[in-house]
């Protein structure tokens, strides 16, 4: 009644975190390990009882107590059947453990793949092919502009632009001309000099002091005339 009047408070189910699956798997593995351990203890106890019943049967049979020996063998047979059942149960639990472990690993792989898929979707939304192509075109255009600026900055500031190739050609022509002139000068022959006479030239007459004075006086008179 009170619930109808005031309303029943809803119980909020705790949300499972991403690690809840791992926690549940670990708890399941612990439970199966505990069950296997319990079966192994039961198995060891049955083996001891089987050995005990077999020993009793041998003693009773030695004493000619056939009925008592048969009862011991029947109990031993019953323990053997229980032991076989326990072995089958252990095998089933081991198979389940392997399956749970494999399934847990598959779950982790699937979670990783889902996270990778979500991340790829998010990245692909931010990097569309059209935007990438436009960005590459803009990038190439800006690089061309930068190259043009660099080319312009390399130009000389003065107006007297000199072609270096032309200067080198001129220098080579000058060198070729000099080599040609040197060759022509080397090939030109010197003029022939007159031969030295083999005989002695006649000796020039030596003037006396009186003759020199007379010649000088004659020259002076010629100048005054």
Answer yes or no: is pLDDT of 8 > 80.
Answer: no
CATH number of 24-115: 1.10.287.1060
C-alpha 69/C-alpha 137 separation (Å) is: 99
C-alpha 222/C-alpha 225 separation (Å) is: 5
The CA–CA distances, whole Å, from 66 to 56, 60, 69, 71, 104 equal 11, 7, 5, 9, 57
C-alpha 151/C-alpha 161 separation (Å) is: 16
The CA–CA distances, whole Å, from 108 to 17, 25, 67, 95, 131 equal 14, 11, 62, 20, 35
The CA–CA distances, whole Å, from 44 to 41, 63, 86, 115, 129 equal 5, 29, 11, 48, 69
CA quadruple 2, 4, 7, 8: dihedral sign:
positive
**71-98, pLDDT tens digit by residue?**
999 999 999 999 999 999 999 999 999 9
Answer yes or no: is pLDDT of 193 > 70.
Answer: no
Mean pLDDT for the stretch of residues 163-181: 77
Answer yes or no: is pLDDT of 40 > 80.
Answer: yes
**91-133, pLDDT tens digit by residue?**
999 999 999 999 989 989 999 999 999 998 888 887 777 777 8
Please report the pLDDT score of residue 191 as a whole number.
Answer: 56
Answer yes or no: is pLDDT of 11 > 60.
Answer: no
DSSP state of 161: -
Neighbours of 32 (CB within 10 A): 16
pTM to 2 decimals? 0.45
Q: Domain coordinates of the chain in residue numbers? A: 24-115
């Amino acid at each position: 009644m009170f619930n109808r009047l005031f309303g029943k408070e809803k119980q909020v189910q705790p949300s499972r975190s991403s690690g809840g699956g791992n926690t549940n798997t670990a708890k399941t593995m612990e439970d199966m390990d505990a069950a296997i351990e319990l079966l192994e203890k039961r198995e060891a106890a049955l083996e001891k009882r089987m050995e005990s019943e077999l020993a009793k049967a041998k003693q009773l049979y030695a004493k000619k107590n056939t009925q008592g020996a048969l009862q011991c063998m029947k109990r031993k047979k019953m323990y053997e059947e229980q032991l076989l059942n326990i072995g089958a149960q252990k095998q089933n639990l081991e198979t389940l453990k392997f399956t749970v472990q494999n399934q847990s690993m598959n779950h982790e792989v699937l979670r990783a793949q889902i996270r990778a898929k979500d991340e790829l979707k998010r990245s692909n939304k931010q990097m569309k092919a059209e935007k990438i192509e436009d960005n590459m075109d803009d990038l190439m255009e800006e690089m061309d502009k930068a190259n043009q600026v660099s080319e312009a900055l390399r130009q000389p500031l003065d107006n007297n632009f000199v072609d270096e190739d032309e200067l080198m050609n001129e220098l080579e022509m000058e060198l070729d001309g000099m080599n040609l002139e040197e060759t022509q000068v080397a090939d030109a022959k010197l003029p022939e000099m007159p031969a030295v006479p083999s005989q002695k030239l006649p000796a020039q007459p030596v003037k006396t002091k009186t003759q020199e004075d007379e010649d000088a006086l004659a020259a002076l008179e010629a100048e005054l005339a």
